[in-house]
Amino acid sequence: MSIPNVVAVIPARGGSKGIKKKNLQLVKGVSLIGRSIIAAKGCRAINRILVSTDCQDIASEARVHGAEPVERSEEIAGDKASSELAVLDCINRALCSDDDIIVFMQATSPFCRSEFLSHALDSFRESRCDSMSSVFKDHGFWWQGDSPMYDPTNRPMRQAQVDLYKEAGMFYIFRAEGIRRTGCRLHGVTKAFEIPKTCALEIDDYDDLLIARSLDM
């Protein structure tokens, strides 16, 4: 019986509607894909780092930072292909064992830290949950279109609000068997791992990229 690995999987396709070659954009002199790989390398528990990509430039950048590029087929490299399909394709091509713990990271979260990954993996193992998502605390008053998603006549005081959390998208943790069986990153008994809100920025458009570049982090 093989010893399970802890495998970081970073999907990074070449195409992007919002920002051209988004995963190669620089924040503080390092590409987004490079920043994710560096965070994964700093986590001692992670012993393999895979980058799923259809882009030779991204594959080259992954090698520079010490990750293994895994070729992604054209069928799952478009805008409509889910991240789950990319992760499944990657772990299958890389011959990951069902017992392997997968740390699915998103390069669009430039402020992931190695210590977040280390503590989250400790929590994942100790809690014996099936899957985990990074989250951050958010006390916002949410709207959908022109309609508030709360009762404006009974607006709660901030100190009276219950703790609400938003999915960060920075990373998810699960075993290879779980995503193979369910096709979903979150399944079974799930657990949240809180990260600081200041680190939760996701790069979706140029405004996000400019904000990331302006932060002293």
Q: Is the dihedral of CA 148, 154, 159, 160 positive or negative?
A: negative
The set of residues, in sequence order, having a beta carbon less than 8 Å from that of 25 and lying 6+ positions away, is 19, 31, 32, 203, 209
CA proximity to 20, closest of 51, 52, 55, 50: 55
DSSP code per residue over 93-133: HTT--TTPEEEEE-TT-TT--HHHHHHHHHHHHHHT-SEEE
Reference 106, options 124, 133, 127, 129; nearest CA is 133
Contact between 68 and 50 (Cβ < 8 Å): yes
Q: Which of 155, 158, 185, 213 is catalytic?
A: 155
Residue 158 a catalytic site member? no
Q: Are 71 and 86 in contact (CB under 8 A)?
A: no
Residues labelled catalytic: 155
